[in-house]
Amino acid sequence: MPKKIVLKELIDKIPDFEHRDRVVQLILQLQKQNSQLQKENIELNKKYEKTNKDKLTMSHLLLKVSDELEQSLNNEKRFVASVSHELRTPLTSILGYSELLLKDTSLNNKPDEVFKRIY
């Protein structure tokens, strides 16, 4: 790492010549620009760290939502399977009983009787 030179020491080392004042002025200007760049760099680093932190937070939230959606889909599948099973048993009985009634020739002219028996 280069040794940091104090501005006064640097200016004192500049020999006396025709453009010395201009050189000193440029050095001061460069020092000011360097200071400003360092401040901007610090600010950019803070923004970078915040952005990364926000990104991690968002990533964790998305994973949580994804897990909750997967759990919800699994619950839905179990519910549909349960309801399907619960409905299939009585509907199968009704269909079977209806077929028997349709095959019963003594009730062909009495559809109301068929419905009353199913009910």
- In this predicted structure, the answer to whether residue 90 has a pLDDT above a threshold of 90 is no
The answer as to whether 63 is a domain residue is yes
What's CA 4's distance to the chain center, in Å?
Answer: 46
106 Rama class: left (phi>0) / alpha (psi -120 to 50) / beta: alpha
Q: What is the mean pLDDT of residues 81-92?
A: 87
Which residues are CB-contacts of 97 (< 8 A; sequence separation ≥ 6)? 117, 118
66 found inside a domain: yes
Report pLDDT for 69. Answer: 97
In this prediction, residues 39-67 reach a mean pLDDT of 97
Tally of structural domains, the chain: 1
Please state, rounded to an integer, the average pLDDT across all residues of the chain.
84
Residue 62 included in any domain: yes
Q: Within a domain: residue 95?
A: yes
**Helix 111-118 × helix 20-103 angle, to 10°:** 120
Quick check: is 50 in a domain?
A: yes
Q: Among residues of the chain, what percentage have pLDDT more than 70?
A: 77
Taking the CA atoms of residue 26, residue 30, residue 36 and residue 42 in that order, the dihedral angle to the nearest 10 degrees is -170
Please name the amino acid found at residue 21: D
User: Tell me, what's the pLDDT at 76?
Assistant: 96
Answer whether residue 58 is part of any domain: yes
pLDDT of residue 3: 59
**Domain limits at 98?**
7-118
Is pLDDT larger for residue 88 or for residue 5? 88
Q: Is residue 104 part of a domain?
A: yes
Assigned domain for 1 exists:
no
